[in-house]
Each structure stands twice: as structure tokens, then as C-alpha cells.
Amino acid sequence: MSVSSVSVDLYSEKQLQQLVEEISLRFFDKPFRHRAFFNRRLRTTGGRYHLQSHDIDFNPKVLEKHGMEELIGVVKHELCHYHLHLEKRGYQHKDRDFKELLKQTGGSRYVQPLTERKVSYHYYQCQDCGGMIRRQRRVNVSRYVCGSCRGRLVQVTKND
């Protein structure tokens, strides 16, 4: 199975294993001898390399939301961790070896967002100076005052 001819259909575990093995040989000139699998419990990360077992699990949402190209970037990223760790070289994100190998292979540094993050805000208005204050967490208005004039705060409703 060629990397470029792979469809965007949801992969089976066997197809994912073949893809990871092929990318490993093609871009790293080294075989991938462990297990690659999907893990639906991953939330914000695209993939995870396990130091003890040397297995790699991938978030299926990467393929579902962003397609094959993004998944291939994540596979390359995790294979950088894999091969560098087995060679006893710097495999962490902060290490120069990791950054250089990631750049050489064209792996992705970060995965595109996988979840929609909607932040709601609480709005407060000072009764003395009329200043508006926006906070992610609620504020106890009987305890806190305006930072500019020390006036009393009142919660107001405002759509962002």
C-alpha cells in the first residue's frame, strides 16, 4: 500500500500498522517492529509513543477531522520519538536530535486542534466608573471591587 494512494476512509488497525511500517522504512530507513493502534481515549494529542513497550497509539480523530496528510505528519512525529529512543539519543521535544530529525522527515510539530474549545465569559461592570471587566471564572462581587476605582461590581449579561 502506497502512502500517497491511501484513501481517507477510517483505517483498520492492520492498515494503520502497514502505514506506520511503510513510513518508517521510507523516511527513516529503519523498520518499525512494534505495534501501532488507534486509541479513542486520546483527547488533545495526535499520538503517543510508549517508552516501556515501544508501541505507538494514534488518535483516530486526526484522520476523521483533518485527513490523511495530518495523520502521516503525526506518524512521522511519533516515529521520531521511537527511533531516537531506541538509538539512545535525545527523543524528547526539547532535544536537538528530535527537532532535527523531525525537520528532516517533514513530521508535524503540533497537531491541529481536535476538539472545539468554547470559552464562556462572565462580565462585570463597575457601578462607579462604568468599566467593564471580563473573566473566565465567576467573581464574588461582595468580596472583589473594581481595580481602577475600587467601586462595587455588578454582573451583567453580554454575548461575546
Q: Is 100 a catalytic residue?
A: no
* 133: CB partners within 8 A, 6+ apart: 123, 124, 125, 126, 139, 146, 147, 153
Pick the catalytic residue from 13, 22, 78, 100.
78
Cβ neighbours around 26 below 10 Å, total? 12
Q: How many residues does the chain have?
A: 160
* 16: CB partners within 8 A, 6+ apart: 36, 37, 38, 58
Please tell me the distance from the alpha carbon of residue 3 to that of residue 15, in angstroms, as a whole number. Answer: 11
User: Which phi and psi angles does 157 have, rounded to 5°?
Assistant: -100, 130
- By annotation, the residues acting in catalysis are 78
